[in-house]
Amino acid sequence: MKKETAVIPKFSIRAGAAAAALALVLSACGSSSGAGGGSAMGPGFDLASKQVLNASTKTGGTINLVSSQSFDSIDPGVTYSAQTWNLFRMFARPMMAYEHTPGGNQIVGDLATGPGVQSNGGKSWTYTLRDNATFEDGTPITSGDVRWAIERSNWSSLVGNGPTYFHNILTPPNDPRFTDLDVYKSGDKMFDNIIVTTDPKKITFNLPQAFGEFDYVMTMLQTAPVERTVDEKDSGDTYGKRPVSTGAYKIASYSPGKELKLVRNAAYNQQSDPNHMHTSLADAVDVQLGVDSGERDQELLDGQADADLGSALTVANHAKVLQDPTLKSQTDDAPDYSIAYSSINTELIPDVPCRQAIEYAVDKNTVLNQLGGQWGGTVATNLLTAGIPGAVQFPTYTYDPAKAKTLLATCKTADPALFDSSGALTFKIAAQTNAPDLQNAATAIQASLAGVGISTQVTLFPFGQYSQYCGNQAYAKAHRLGMCLANWGPDWLTGYGMLDQLVTSNGIAATGSQNYAFLNDTTVNSLEKEALSSFEPSTQQQDWVKIDHRVMDLAAYVPLMDRHIMRFRSAKLSNVMIDQAGSGGYDLSVLGLK
């Protein structure tokens, strides 16, 4: 182990102005009504991850967005999906953020003036808040508001669906004060030396151990300020239904599962945002939720909707788009460094040979066809994707029904209680409602497993509550949820950002777990601690690869596909780009209308 005085490495962070890439000058240069249709020729196929399309500073009009899903929560501190992170940045302002650069992964200060200043061997991180930043009612934002936002979303009754990075990184080990802590009930005095906010313009985090990726954690929407005096009156209930804006837009109305309307936040002070991280070129943003996926595609292709929040076009429309030059010119098919996968419930199926049998029984090429074929991605063999530094692709389980049957026989001999009265291994496969491609993939897996004598039933759960079923240990075991299909992308492009919540004990909770396999392996957990204790990026990267190998050896996850996302963008949108600021999708924060 390195000495405590060693410098923690930075990870692709620049303090320079993010606005340079986009060169947006926020001045009124005319207006747009937002009229137009899907028949207009776009800039070209698959360009948005490489360049800014239709760069413009024109203001006005309404951007119409659509999603086949609903939100898991409207509360920025609780939500945990790429589409909500991307959208909610329009009204919620985190401390750090990704700059607006096509394909970019650079982070800069947002509400903070810049990256954290390290001290105490990387155990302390200090951030300075920008001047003139306010809530939508004009109340100045202080460091205490940031502190409360982090505390409420990590140590309260709200915990259960959002990421747990702050909780895992800041909680002192073996300190009983933090066991089952609810700051709404017990207050937060125990954090006075952990999250220091004696200066209203500065916030210092004192960590139990050094952590070199803390600037990335500060990009989480859990750092978007929440005014404590208002929020704690009803334990977050009011705020959770209608969050108070700190960004360039504010919520005009919200009907859960149906519609969200955003309008400009008149109190937003652009002087507090010299990097132009938040723009409000459009007068309003209308988001239609829970739209049938086929209907959603049609609205996009007909020009009724400008973009989807984050989902791909359904496979049924790939050929139509690719064969029509006009539609193709408004389409992108870019990798987003995510995987389509199925977990295998290690509590329901604890026998490794049984889980390995499932791995060998899945015909991934058939699954790939259901997920878009060459336009959907490539067959995955492990969890770390190509966009993560140090990631290594390695072969694991190839389709082999004979080997699957042999392993099943071994498992049946060792643990006959896993099999039903007919002698079959039986469980359910979960997929999401209104996600026909994943449902078709689940059906393909069901057919593959049937070929080796594994009996399954496909069951569907809504996207917004998916982790409340697949991530609920008691429910998943009682209802025999053996496999859960989902897509997973890194919270930031490092091994930790990809694997921590997915495969370690940090991703397991009583409900709302992201580790759907409920894998709690001492080797995996120890390797993560080893990675985080290292000051050398290359050593850390090697440890993440070791974790990837270990998880695959344990057959806790079936990697299905390294994903490409075929997205459709209206030709009338301006400042279109795909980047990390958009959680790997279209960067909604800078969109306007031509």
Each residue's pLDDT expressed in tens, for the chain with a length of 594 residues: 333 333 333 334 444 444 444 444 443 344 344 434 456 788 999 999 999 999 999 999 999 999 999 999 999 999 999 999 999 999 999 999 999 999 888 999 999 999 999 999 999 999 999 999 999 999 999 999 999 999 999 999 998 778 999 999 999 999 999 999 999 999 999 999 999 999 999 999 999 999 999 999 999 999 999 999 999 999 999 999 999 999 999 999 999 999 999 999 999 999 999 989 999 999 999 999 999 999 999 999 999 999 999 888 999 999 999 999 999 999 999 888 899 999 999 999 999 999 999 999 999 999 999 999 999 999 999 999 988 999 999 999 999 999 999 999 999 999 899 999 999 999 999 999 988 999 999 999 999 999 999 999 999 999 888 999 999 999 999 999 999 999 999 999 999 999 999 999 999 988 889 999 999 999 999 999 999 988 788 999 999 999 999 999 999 999 999 999 999 999 999 999 999 888 889 999 999 999
Considering the domain architecture, whether residues 83 and 134 belong to the same structural domain is answered as yes
Task: Answer whether residue 6 is part of any domain.
Answer: no
Considering the domain architecture, whether residues 562 and 573 belong to the same structural domain is answered as no
Q: Indicate the helix (H) or strand (E) that contains 409.
A: helix 401-414
Of 424, 419, 430, the residue nearest 483 (C-alpha): 430
Please give the pLDDT value at position 17. 41
The DSSP call for residue 98 is: E
Task: Answer whether residue 557 is part of any domain.
Answer: yes
Question: pLDDT tens across 520-540, in order?
Answer: 999 999 999 999 988 788 999
Task: Answer whether residue 356 is part of any domain.
Answer: yes
What CATH number does the domain containing 505 carry?
3.10.105.10
Please give the pLDDT value at position 528. 96
Of 348, 255, 324, 299, the residue nearest 556 (C-alpha): 348
Of 583, 580, 572, the residue nearest 63 (C-alpha): 572
Number of domains in the chain: 2
Query: Phi, psi at residue 229, to the nearest 5°?
Result: -60, -30
Q: How many other C-beta atoms lie within 10 A of the C-beta of residue 132?
A: 12
Considering the domain architecture, whether residues 585 and 562 belong to the same structural domain is answered as no
Task: Answer whether residue 296 is part of any domain.
Answer: no
Please give the pLDDT value at position 546. 98
Please give the pLDDT value at position 105. 85
- E strand spans, 247-311: 249-255, 259-264, 284-288, 307-308
Considering the domain architecture, whether residues 574 and 555 belong to the same structural domain is answered as no
Q: What angle do CA 328, 102, 535 make, to 5 degrees?
A: 135
Considering the domain architecture, whether residues 419 and 527 belong to the same structural domain is answered as yes
Half-sphere exposure of 569 (CA within 13 A, CB side): 34
Considering the domain architecture, whether residues 81 and 198 belong to the same structural domain is answered as yes
Please give the pLDDT value at position 38. 53
Q: How far apart are CA 530 and CA 546, in angstroms?
A: 11
Considering the domain architecture, whether residues 530 and 587 belong to the same structural domain is answered as no
Q: How far apart are CA 132 and CA 138, in angstroms?
A: 10
Share of residues in the chain with pLDDT > 70 (%): 93
Question: pLDDT tens across 133-186, in order?
Answer: 999 999 999 999 999 999 999 999 998 778 999 999 999 999 999 999 999 999
What CATH number does the domain containing 253 carry?
3.40.190.10
Task: Answer whether residue 4 is part of any domain.
Answer: no
* Residue numbers of the domain that contains 185: 19-291+569-593
Task: Answer whether residue 11 is part of any domain.
Answer: no
Considering the domain architecture, whether residues 353 and 257 belong to the same structural domain is answered as no
Task: Answer whether residue 10 is part of any domain.
Answer: no
DSSP state string for 40-65: S--S-TT-TTTS-BS----B-SEEEE
Please give the pLDDT value at position 431. 97
Q: How far apart are CA 543 and CA 95, in angstroms?
A: 29
Task: Answer whether residue 482 is part of any domain.
Answer: yes
Considering the domain architecture, whether residues 386 and 254 belong to the same structural domain is answered as no
For residues 239-264, one letter each, b for 16 or more C-beta atoms within 10 angstroms of the residue's C-beta and e for the rest, the string is: bbeebbbbbbbbbeebeeeeebebbb
Q: Can you tell me whether residue 260 is helix, strand or coil?
A: strand
Of 47, 41, 34, the residue nearest 576 (C-alpha): 47
